[in-house]
Structure 1
Amino acid sequence: MTDAEGYVTTFTYDAMDRVVTMTDAKGGVTRYTYTDHGEVATKTDAEGYVTSYEYDGNGNLVSKTDPDGYTTEYTYNALDLATKINYNDAKEVSYRYNKTGDLVSMTDWLGTTTFELDLLHQMTAATDHAGKRVEYTYDGVGNQTSIKMIWRSFATLKKLPLLLY
């Protein structure tokens, strides 16, 4: 593969057509190993640093350990949707879904972001922990037609003339 600047990256594959090595333009080789079920088990970069991955019986990533030994753990619900990510530094992200499997909220160390959806499961709005809101509209066939960003509430805007005097 040649990028826009003319640098070439080459790949080798195993009998299952999975990438085994990737050689970058400077000759650095990244190596991959796989589980019996075909998921990436390890990635060894050009400097010899290893990242390892573990999966559950459904093929969901349940842990990733980086070269420094930091582990990130992942939890899933019965629908195999991620419900929680625990980072090594004790930070956590959790996800909540409606009964049809649509993401309705995400909570991290900063707070909760909520998502609103229409009957076609298209996101119509997202509001973050600080009240910043993004609204989306769609045409009759589901193409996104607009994005509206709302960063200030009406109460905040009412105070603006007072600041200008």
Structure 2
Amino acid sequence: MQLQKLIVCAPLLLCALRPRAAQAQIGLDPSRSAPSAGTPLTQPTLSPGAVELLTLDGQFSQAVAKGGGAAFASWFADDGMTLNNGKAAVYGRTRIAAAATWKPDTYQLTWYPEFAQMGPSGDMGYTWGHYEGSSKDQNGNPVKTSGRYITVWKKMPDGKWKVALDASADEPPAAGDCCKLPNP
């Protein structure tokens, strides 16, 4: 059975995790939690596998918001990898844990998934979305980063899902004057 609408499948998961603007980007009406009887379903169909991955991604994000870098590393497979903007690749959960030492009170990493797709075999898939990071510099001034991410998930032999690959790229800087056409 295919789930007909994201709002029907996971209203508490994604609607709680997504800002209203993000809900609108994929056609969700944040004022409604489910269609009323007789309402035509106009949203794209999501497979149960995609909903499962979106749920996992939401749980991953919530765990990291509460537990920081240690929680982040705990979601990776032993042979997982991170590819972060401007940094060397980090291979293996042990090395990821050694690099992810931030605490939620000094750095807050949050994200929300925008899409998921399960592979045909049902044991691998991916999610992607938008992330935001918040911290303070040495003078106590706020530092914000944001960008896109993709997470590749794989099902382990014990049936649990782990992160095989997590990659991110910062949002490009604002266009500013660099991209304006000169006045004639």
Q: TM-score, normalised by structure 2?
A: 0.27
Bigger relative contact order, structure 1 or 2 (CA pairs below 8 A, ≥6 apart): 2
Structure with the bigger percentage of strand: 1
Structure with larger Rg:
1
